[in-house]
């Protein structure tokens, strides 16, 4: 049984390079945004979550807490995959009829509040208490806790002289994460279809539209799917040859977001 310590990413890399340069065997595991160096019966764990504002270990522990809860309550066996093909879960879509160079002023967006976390509650993965506990941690941690079920683990071993062939371990229950993504996608898809020509694009859990009247259409659809929505005014949306760029207000002033069309399906 390994004893676990939380480290900065830089510290883990310094230790790894030290062992490598001195010919000392070690094992390194990567999974998503985390690194784990195993040596002398100790795990040195580092996470790149919240790189600018590091997540405290007390919150990172929530990832393990969620896994234990879902596993111990038999939910992995009780809740099947709700989708037929993971490749058909579209995380983003655009209006293909909008030409490059087009600008729309005074637009709106509707975002699902706590989209994936709410999906997990609606599906049945979360108790009411676990849902509330999750709302106390950073939203990045909530998403990572669900995403941990879909992580591919890569294990690298150094025997003191050379690195051995990496071991790749596929996730056993990726459907936990993808079920949440699928339920969010169904809501986004219905909003897109209902808005017709007023639709601009959606990205994960937020949909952009040309007019304010469409916000109520989306809010009603989200409510039907078990979500709450948040309406935000958008100063303008610009369609360039390779992207959509939104210009929005936030407490710090103006903010732009660019959604590249080569990442959109």
Residues 134 and 213 grouped into a single domain? no
Average pLDDT value for the chain: 92
Is there a single domain that holds both residue 130 and residue 253? Answer: no
Within a 13 Å sphere around the CA of 38, how many CA atoms are in the beta-carbon half? 12
Lateral strand order in the sheet of 229-239: 92-94, 199-203, 206-209, 103-112, 229-239, 243-250, 253-260
In this structure, the chain runs to a length of 265
Instruction: Identify which of 178, 62, 173 has the alpha carbon closest to the alpha carbon of residue 119.
Output: 178
Q: Are residues 155 and 185 in the same domain?
A: no
pLDDT at 145: 94
Candidate from 30-39, 214-223, 249-258 with smallest mean pLDDT: 249-258
Rg (CA), the chain: 22
- If phi > 0 it is left, if psi is from -120 to 50 it is alpha, else beta; for residue 104 that is beta
82 phi, psi to nearest 5 deg: -90, -5
Residues 200-233: tens digit of each pLDDT: 999 999 999 999 999 999 999 999 999 999 999 9
pLDDT bucket at 180, cuts 50 / 70 / 90: very high
User: Is residue 233 within a helix (H) or strand (E), and if so which, with residue range?
Assistant: strand 229-239
pTM of the model: 0.85
Domain with 229 in it: what CATH number?
Answer: 3.90.1600.10
Q: Map residue 211 onto helix, strand or coil.
A: coil
Together in a domain, 93 and 159 = no
Domain extent, residue 186, equals 86-121+176-263
Helix, strand, or coil here: 246?
Answer: strand
Q: Are 68 and 117 members of one domain?
A: no
Residues 165 and 96 placed together within one structural domain of the fold: no
């Amino acid at each position: 049984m390994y004893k676990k310590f939380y480290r900065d990413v830089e510290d883990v890399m310094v230790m790894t390079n030290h062992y490598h340069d001195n010919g000392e065997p070690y094992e390194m595991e990567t999974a998503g945004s985390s690194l784990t160096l195993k040596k002398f019966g100790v795990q040195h764990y580092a996470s790149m979550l919240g790189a600018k504002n590091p997540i405290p270990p007390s919150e990172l522990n929530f990832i393990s807490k969620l896994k234990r809860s879902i596993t111990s309550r038999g939910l992995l066996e009780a809740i099947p995959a709700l989708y037929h093909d993971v490749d058909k879960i579209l995380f983003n879509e655009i209006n293909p009829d909008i030409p490059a160079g087009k600008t729309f002023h005074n637009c709106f967006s509707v975002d699902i509040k706590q989209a994936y976390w709410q999906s997990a509650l609606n599906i049945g993965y979360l108790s009411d208490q676990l849902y509330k506990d999750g709302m106390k941690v950073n939203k990045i941690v909530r998403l990572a806790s669900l995403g941990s079920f879909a992580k591919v683990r890569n294990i690298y071993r150094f025997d003191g002289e050379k690195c051995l062939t990496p071991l790749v371990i596929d996730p056993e229950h990726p459907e936990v994460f993808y079920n949440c993504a699928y339920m969010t996608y169904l809501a986004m898809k219905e909003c897109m279809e209902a808005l017709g020509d007023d639709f601009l694009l959606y990205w994960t859990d937020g949909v952009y539209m040309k007019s304010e009247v469409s916000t109520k259409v989306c809010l009603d659809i989200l409510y039907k799917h078990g979500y709450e929505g948040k309406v935000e005014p958008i100063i303008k949306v610009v369609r360039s040859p390779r992207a959509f760029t939104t210009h929005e207000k936030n407490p710090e002033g103006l903010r732009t977001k660019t959604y590249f069309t080569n990442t959109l399906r």
